[in-house]
Amino acid sequence: MEEDEQLKSQEAGTEAEEQQVGLRDEFIQEIAGLLAADDADRVQELCRELPAADAGELIVKLDSDRRHKLVEMLENELNPETFSYLDREILNDLLEHMSARHIASIVNRLDSDDAIHLIAHLDEERRGDIMRHLNRNLRAAVEEGLTYPEGSAGRLMQREFVAIPQFWTVGKTVDYLRAVASTMPEKFYNIFIVDPMHRFVGAVALSNVLCAQRSVKIDTLVGEEHITVPVTMDQGQAALLFSRKDLLSAPVIDEDERLIGVLTVDDIVDVIHAEAEKDFLNISGVSDSDIHSSVIATANSRFFWLAINLLTAIAASIVISFFEDTIAKIAVLAVLMPIVASMGGNAGTQTLAVAVRALATKDLSSANSLRVIQKEVIVALIDGILFALIMGTVVFLWFHNPQLGMIIGAAMVMNLIAAGFSGALIPIIMERMGHDPAQSAVVFLTTVTDIVGFFSFLGLASWLMV
């Protein structure tokens, strides 16, 4: 049945190609051509009405020269929110070439959270230049936002929200909203209730306000669960909270429980994307936002990971060098030894990926870690025995040497068990030590599987065949 559903889902995927989200490639190529031909009028005409996400995609997909030209040509016709859709690297590339006044004119049209996000990317000196050109209120909000650590709720929150006293009725609330409509945030999802000290009391869903009679006291509509986000909470934790509680927005409070901002689900969706991207890239040895980095920056950031990998590869080579004499006598060992190491590496990576993911989603914690490790070792044992039988047979048929077949089979079982055990244990230990398990666990794992793989296979062969 599982296959059946995969098939169906693939069909849906194929059908969906016609309903593609985002820009058509032909459009991007047309703009690229117009930019090369310096046709500013036509570029403005085609791009003026682009929604922010589409303008962001266009900027991302153009090369660096055309990107600058586009931003220059559109200037203030570009939706300022476009900049919220750009990765750090592209943003830096663009901002470097723009005047402080131009950047400030963009920032002035952003909500405080987007403004902080943009300004946080600049170095100290440019920050100062731009701050001077900002509206007074926005400047205060940005300055305050920058005091919270990167990646905290304080950086992410919006400072525009609707808060009312708890003794109001629905009728009074609606009248108030109608009266002050022009000063309200463009969109809001909840009304917050505060006490006279501006401490958070509860949140009311707008649908509940709309469906209630005018005479109803507003605080009777407060939802059951009292959920607040401390201003210092890490954004990953906040994202977890949102998806567990199906929240649309959550009040952000300071250490005195005063309501100071609101986190909204659209920002959380971005956080979820960013965290997923980070884990996905890190486990493959790449830093975030790598695709948009310059050639030199990319070569530089990947070098570090490859250098660590080189060290583990050399460690494995040293293990092999212990058995150089054996290999000189039985060269076929060199033919077969990468198989044992490779199978261990792959089996270990499977376990590692499952463990890293489960740690991120809280499906794995000390409550069940022993059970997970135990399961991984048993799975490794089962697959190890199966592959030992297969590989033993293959080697027997290939080299007509039953002893060699048994040796590679035994080494396979040993390395797969080592892989299952360390693939589960390493990320659990790293998490408990406060490290990001996605980032560095693979190195430790492949070191283990390479060394155990080569040592068990070559060691058994030296012992039994020489």
256 binds its own copies (CB under 8 A): no
Task: Using the structure block, give the residue that is written with the tokens 């689900």.
Answer: 265
- Specify the residue, 223 or 402, whose C-beta has the smaller distance to its own copies: 223
d(CA 343, CA 416) in angstroms, rounded, equals: 7
Pairing verdict, β 249-253 and 229-230:
parallel
The count of residues interacting with its own copies (CB under 8 A) is 155
Interactions with its own copies, residue window 166-205 (CB under 8 A) = 174, 177-178, 181, 184-185, 187-189, 205
Interactions with its own copies, residue window 89-148 (CB under 8 A) = 123
- Specify the residue, 74 or 454, whose C-beta has the smaller distance to its own copies: 454
When binding is defined by CB under 8 A, the residue of 119, 336, 451, 460 that contacts its own copies is 336
Distance of CA 155 to the CA centre of its chain: 17
Q: Closest by alpha carbon to 66, among 104, 40, 45?
A: 40
Considering only 39-47, 101-109, 127-135, 320-328, which stretch makes contact with its own copies by CB under 8 A?
320-328
d(CA 89, CA 103) in angstroms, rounded, equals: 16
Q: How would you label 19-56 residue by residue, b for 16+ Cβ within 10 Å and e otherwise?
A: eeeebeeebbeebbebbeeeeeeebeeebeebebbbbb
Closest distance between its own copies and the C-beta of residue 136, in Å? Answer: 25
Considering only 37-45, 136-144, 195-203, 390-398, which stretch makes contact with its own copies by CB under 8 A?
390-398
d(CA 60, CA 120) in angstroms, rounded, equals: 20
Closest distance between its own copies and the C-beta of residue 252, in Å? Answer: 12
Q: One symbol per residue from 70 to 89: x for binding its own copies (CB under 8 A), - otherwise; what is it? A: ---------------x----
Query: Longest Cα pair distance anywhere in the chain, in angstroms?
Result: 94
327 binds its own copies (CB under 8 A): yes
- Count of beta carbons in the 10 Å neighbourhood of residue 377: 21
Interactions with its own copies, residue window 403-422 (CB under 8 A) = none
Interactions with its own copies, residue window 274-293 (CB under 8 A) = 276-277, 279-281, 283-286, 290-292
Closest distance between its own copies and the C-beta of residue 144, in Å? Answer: 16
What is the sign, positive or negative, of the torsion defined by CA atoms of 94, 95, 97, 98?
Answer: positive
When binding is defined by CB under 8 A, the residue of 108, 166, 342, 401 that contacts its own copies is 342
